[in-house]
Structure 1
């Protein structure tokens, strides 16, 4: 398969996709490494994961170059994300040392019981192209810390940093503990059917549904995208529009949690459209953010924009050639518009009007996805009340995309099932075993 630099359209390298032989070999290597890795004490796993974090930081420029070549994102974005990945391996290495059983004691007369949390075994981690290294960190760090071995299947267009991570993991963790398996969708299908003990997938709802169907009784952890509503009240902070424009165009809008649907009350609607368009006009494709990742995504983005019935379109300056798309605002559009209902995954914001806060919440909840949302108001009482009414797994007040390893990130409805980040993510990769002993 030819790997394309999305910034230029040029072929940057060629790789053969993994097929049955490569998939079997990767899973076999993970199976062979699992007993030794899971038998290590949490302290020793922590030490080795910290050594992997050190290697990531020591080779930061190589990771950044590989990530930029695969995704097209600016160097500053790639550098910030690889720092987060190094932090994740350190965080989970330490977190697993503090794990405690949920129950232990005399629950039956004459018996003592306790619960052990054990690794599930071999994890197949299938990650997307929008954050190749960061999503690998989100999936691999807790899985490895919990004592599992991992076969990492990167997206077809962005295997570069996964291969680099696997090479450093062999050095820091040992052979077979983390294996990278580059390939296409057929490679992923083979991996899902290879007998791994858990499938951890981040990607589109359609692909997630297929994986869940193919997995059968194999446990799955799914993060399947978002379509984040943004409720902006008339007393929102002065920098709201600049904050939203920056968040929307980060990674060219190719983020599951990116702000997508701005909802404003009637009396502030016209001013809001003008202010948002002005803020987006300051975000230039080619200067402030990169291109879309691949031709399929560009075609999908173009289809959604072309099908929109928006009466107001505001397009910012910037590159429009190849895979580059400008920051765009669509306003005066119906609630069932494709740009509202579908996850656009690009540097685009829609604006909808609501007659009341109740209607604003109804509009926010009207799409299948429920991953993230934000509320913007200086009235914290009203703002906090609105965060309670939104069903997304992560809700921000007067900010967006503010995340930390300590805080869980999870989807509801069609956005998936399972938890990334925080110590709760460790439970995705463990299973409980109750041990009860009769006292004789």
Structure 2
């Protein structure tokens, strides 16, 4: 995500003051102060990592069955207090209640999924691959994980990182974004009850806090944020293992035979979480023959999605100012804003069309309720436009021709491709990017291996026959 609040500080590691001024926490719905936050500095960072290191032997030594039981207990607490989680999410993000509750329930489901996955590890079958020797593979935890998560999905992104890491036998120190510490703090509190001290701890703070955590004595860094911040994290990692989810700029290929539900579904996906999703639909690409229809249909569909009624505000003033700059700099000849609130951090859905292929709104991850529409001369040009940005996280194709849609989905350079839908995800299905969108896998059983190391063990049995 291209924001100013999801990356470590650019200052030299280890030179942060022992304490820092309190940070104001504002409600993005109203702009009013809702509290303050003391950002963690070196002493607190070291204490959290030391506690995680101390808890590691006991946690990794548990049987998968016992880890499953404890992770299920944490899921129970998330479900029991789902209204409290939802209100904390809303305070920091401004999400509508239905969105917040839905995401909290996804978090409980994720912890349950990985609780079970911990007992179903995969490895090459044991066998005698060398005469007279028996070999097998052990999957071992990496150790202490530093998870730095963004403000767009504070609790859900924490769960995406923490649930598989914990299930694999690691301990985790998670740093939420400075504007959204609330729900992760509650998760850490419940983790102490369900998992034990030091197994999962939160470390609230700002970009300096994040930089200190990344530079601390952790074994792996799991980061979700901007490409620039991801490069900084990789440099600070110094050869340590990383998993980097660095945002997207998703193409949407709409063919002339797109089904009738295309417009409403795309408008809903574009405005979900006010468009502040890495995999949100962003760049609509049409053929010449259906360009005008797409513009008309999407204009009408977005007009039915109103800021303040159907979706929430942008998260913070920096993000709102960045969104405004991109819109103002666009050379689009067609720019239409839907009805809805425009005060404070509220921004209505917007459609930009008749714009150059190198327009700022096309090349940047806008991270707001905005769609651009580009015209292609044919399918080959449509694919070239789709793959013409550095990010390659997600994409979608909309057509009534199943065979053609599956072919295009296979040819798109994206870690996740949808056909006649967008933003449809499940704990069972992997999610990850390519190119400037980062590396590594979230979700699915595959994510367990992000936080594990294989060890081959071979035993000599005696004289071969």
Structure 1 residue 34: Cα displacement:
0.6
1:427 is matched with which residue?
449
Q: How big is the shift at 1:321?
A: 0.6
Matches within 5 A, 1:269-280: 269-280=291-302
Q: What residue number does 2:334 align with? A: 312
Is residue 60 from structure 1 mapped to residue 87 from structure 2 by the alignment? no
Distance 1:398 1:61 in 2: 33
**301, 307, 325: which is aligned to 1:285?**
307
Match for residue 115 of structure 1 among 134, 137, 158: 137
Instruction: Measure, in 1, the Cα distance between the counterparts of 2:80 and 2:395.
Output: 36
**Distance in 2 (alpha carbons) for counterparts of 1:391 and 1:366:** 10
User: Please, which of 338, 342, 347 is the counterpart of residue 369 of structure 2?
Assistant: 347
Distance in 2 (alpha carbons) for counterparts of 1:275 and 1:315 = 14
Equivalent residue runs for 1:90-105 within 5 Å? 90-105=112-127
1:400 aligns with 2:394: no
Residue aligning to 2:233:
211
Partner of 2:48: 26
Question: Counterparts in 2 of 1:365-404, with a 5 A limit?
Answer: 365-404=387-426
CA apart distance, 1:374: 0.2
> Does residue 282 of structure 2 align to residue 255 of structure 1?
no
Pairing partner for 1:185 from 197, 200, 207? 207
1:161 aligns with 2:162: no
Offset of 1:104 from its aligned partner? 2.1
Matched, 1:176 2:195: no
**In 1, Cα distance between the equivalents of 2:279 and 2:122?**
31
Mapping of residues 138-149 of structure 1, within 5 Å: 138-149=160-171
**4+ long deviations beyond 3 Å:** none
1:102 Cα deviation from its structure 2 partner: 2.0
How many pairs are equivalent? 440
Aligned equivalents of 1:102 and 1:281: distance in 2? 53
Distance 2:125 2:212 in 1: 39
Q: State the match for 1:338 in structure 2.
A: 360
Q: Give the Cα–Cα distance (whole angstroms) in 1 for the partners of residues 239 and 393 of structure 2.
A: 25
For residue 419 of structure 1, give the secondary structure of its aligned residue in structure 2. coil
SS at match of 2:239: coil
CA distance in 2, matches of 1:288, 1:15: 30
Q: TM-score, normalised by structure 2?
A: 0.94
- Give me the whole-angstrom Cα distance separating, in 2, the residues matched to 1:75 and 1:206: 32
Per the TM alignment, residue 110 of structure 1 is displaced from its structure 2 partner at its CA by 1.9
**In structure 2, what is the Cα distance between the partners aligned to 1:141 and 1:414?**
25
Separation (CA, whole Å) in 2 of partners of 1:103 and 1:434: 11
Q: Secondary structure of 1:387's match?
A: helix
Shift of 1:437: 1.2
Distance in 2 separating the partners of 1:183 and 1:387 = 40
User: Within 1, Cα distance between the matches of 2:236 and 2:349?
Assistant: 38
Q: Deviations over 1:74-115 (max 9, x none)?
A: 010000000000000000010110113224211222211111
Match of 2:258 in 1: 236
Show the counterpart of 1:79. Answer: 101
Matched, 1:221 2:243: yes
Give unmatched runs, 5+ long, in structure 2.
Answer: 1-22
Cα distance in structure 1, aligned partners of 2:410 and 2:447: 23
Specify which of 238, 263, 268 is matched with residue 290 of structure 2.
268
TM superposition shift of 1:399: 0.2
Find the residue that maps to 1:106 and give its secondary structure. Answer: strand
Counterparts of 1:343 and 1:225 in 2: how far apart (Å)? 7
> Alpha-carbon deviations, 1:94-149, whole Å to 9, x = none?
01101132242112222111110000000001000000000011000000000000
Counterpart in the other structure of 1:8:
30
Q: Structure 2 CA distance, aligned partners of 1:89 and 1:334?
A: 44
* Partner deviation per Cα, 1:263-311 (whole Å, 9 max, x = no partner): 0100111111011001001110000000000011111111111110000
* Structure 1 match to 2:16: none
CA distance in 2, matches of 1:271, 1:138: 38
Inter-partner Cα distance in structure 1 for 2:145 and 2:156: 17
> For 1:434, what is the secondary structure of its paired residue?
strand
Instruction: State yes or no: 1:200 paired with 2:222.
Output: yes
